[in-house]
Structure 1
Amino acid sequence: MADGTWDLIVTPWHVDEPIPAFPIPLGATEVVRPVLPAGPVPARMNVLHQAALDAVTRAARPLVLSGDCATARATVAGLQRRHRDVAVLWLDAHGDFNTPAISTSGYLAGMALAMLTGRTPGLFDDSLGLRPVPDTSVVLADARDLDPAERDALTASDVHRVPADPAAITAALGRLGPVPVYLHLDVDVIDGAQLSGARFPSGPGPSLARIEDCLAAACATADVRAAGIACAWLPEHVHDRTTRRTITRLTAALGAGLEILGFRHNADTARTSEGS
């Protein structure tokens, strides 16, 4: 297992749109949104992901706070520059396994895990140098909200699917062996009753405390070399006090202490409101 030191990076955008109110923790590296070309959204996203990749490459152990899941392309590409083989732990209410061929909405951030596993050829150019992660090296936790075609694609794949449960995640990671892991969390995996203002709420699910336990278990079990938290709140909610509290709790579960505009995680009182 890696030590508890993280290099915090913030990419304050969703797909190709800026999020001006995105919280920037003290000491974090904020990736400045580059000037984007006119043209297709994937090409604009690729420019953003290149900027994120540059920041990730400079970090010893990157923890990326982003506004969507697709930015994971940059983090995994950066991790692959240091390690030949990489595994992925993906905690999300959604599968993010749609592709342009099966998506009913065309929502690109809903294809993020499909991107990592090489299922979206031609959507982006290869400037990031991202190599497809084998299905057998991917653990998908929860994914309770799937489109029908997406469900079929996951069933036909070799992706390991587990509940958002610390023991199940520990066992799945243990079967992968000693390989560097990218840990990805979309905050909407948390029970909708505890996550007001989510872009794509998914109803009942694991509590915030359960997700904290999952993150801690993953870090205790696997060699987590990079991580990403998709802060998938609506723009008008992304800087709420409850949002900032949730972010600090999740990062603390990964072993990263941070402060956002004076709000600091308090491990002694964080769970009192939900009875843990």
Structure 2
Amino acid sequence: MTLLVPYHQDDFLPDLGAALPPLTPTTTVVARLPDDARGWSRLAPIYRAVADAVQSRVRPGACQTVVSGCCCVSLGTLAGLQRAGVDAGVVWFDAHGDVQTMETSASGYLGGMPLRMMVGYRPELVGVRAIAESRAVLVDARDLDPPEVDYLRGADIRRSTVEELDTAALPDGPLLLHVDCDVVAAEDLPGLRFPVPGGPSAAAVVAALARVLATGRVAALDIACTWDPAAPDPTGARPRLLADLLALASRP
């Protein structure tokens, strides 16, 4: 089952599902957001709904797949696993670090914070139980702001390139495998909201994700389609990448 969460933060993306190939039945999460709230309080209903859906679908040996337009949705995915009794480590593929805080972020962009919240920065705001830094692996992260560089220098979060990631670098136990599609070289994937030049090819990313999934320990695959659905994609690179990722998750 693929869970579709058509949001980029609180922006509803009705066209995001059009890129989904017909590999599995899809359930769509739509939440009612409070008009009088901002920031994490406004987004919390989305993550609660995702957590409810993930929790209800957790099965031993099965990988739940969540597709959204924003990395923040992964907070709901993790919360759902935890509610179901799955103590997951995190493998985080992203061109960015996503380890900002509200105090360090120059822009205040919430999408730059979810991994930091998973490892202990105000997790109560989004309903997750913090995991140890040593149980998180950050893959690629080729575009870091100075506060992120400072934090990661002293943190126990493991680091890897896409090409060098192997099973020895993974935390023990079940895993939440998150991929922000902007980890792919911006030259190969049009319409990204925060493109980063250089970086791995789509094929290299898919191969690395396959290595993680082959462990049989991935409890959830969280895919953030961080592109503008209305942006031109003349070669069909975006749905092709998404199809490859969903095909990985559907393998027995």
| Fold similarity call, TM over 0.5 | yes
Going from structure 1 to structure 2, the CA distance change for 1:131 and 1:77 (only over 3 Å counts) comes to same
Corresponding residue number in structure 2 for 1:92: 94
Range with greater deviation from structure 2 (210-219 or 52-61): 52-61
Aligned to 1:254: 249
Task: Give the Å deviation of 1:230.
Answer: 0.3
What residue is the counterpart of 1:272 in the other structure? Answer: none
Give 1:38 deviation, angstroms. 2.0
Secondary structure, aligned partner of 1:131: coil
- Determine the C-alpha separation between the residues in 2 that align with 1:120 and 1:107: 16
Secondary structure of 1:221 counterpart? coil
Q: Can you give the 5+ residue segments of structure 1 that lack an aligned partner in the other structure? A: 1-6, 258-276
Aligned equivalent of 1:50: 48
CA contact (8 A) 1:181 1:222 kept: no
1:74 counterpart residue number = 76
Q: CA deviation at 1:48?
A: 1.1
The whole-number CA distance in structure 1 between the counterparts of 2:26 and 2:86 is 28
Contact 2:50 2:76 in 1 (8 A): yes
Q: Output the amino acid matched with 2:119.
A: T
Residue 214 (str. 1) matches residue 208 (str. 2):
yes
Establish whether residue 169 from structure 1 lines up as the match of residue 166 from structure 2: yes
List per-residue Cα deviations over 1:136-159 (Å, max 9, x = no partner).
100110000000111111111100
Contact between 1:212 and 1:250, CA under 8 Å: does it hold in 2? yes
**In the alignment, what sits opposite 2:179?**
185
3-state secondary structure, aligned to 2:4: strand
- 2:123–2:129 CA contact under 8 A, matched in 1: no
What is the alpha-carbon distance in structure 2 between the residues aligned to residue 88 and residue 181 of structure 1? 6
**Is this contact kept in 2: 1:94–1:145, CA < 8 A?**
yes
Equivalent residues of 1:237, 1:243 under 8 A apart: no
Q: Distance in 2 between matches of 1:115 and 1:76?
A: 11
The residue matched to 1:23 in structure 2 has which SS? helix
Secondary structure class of the residue paired with 2:165: helix
User: Which piece of structure 1 moves more, 242-251 or 134-143?
Assistant: 242-251
Alignment deviations for residues 90-139 of structure 1 (CA, whole Å, 9 cap, x no partner): 000000000011111100011010111111357x26xx3x1001101001
| Preserved contact between residue 213 and residue 249 of structure 2 (Cα < 8 Å) | yes
The Cα shift of 1:227 comes to 1.2
- 1:244 aligned partner: 239
From 2, 5, 27, give the equivalent of 1:8: 2
How many residues of Structure 1 are paired with residues of Structure 2 in the alignment? 243
Unaligned runs of 5+ in 2: none
CA RMSD, aligned part only? 2.0
Take 1:238 and 1:155, find their aligned partners in 2: how far apart are those partners? 38
TM-score by length of 2: 0.90
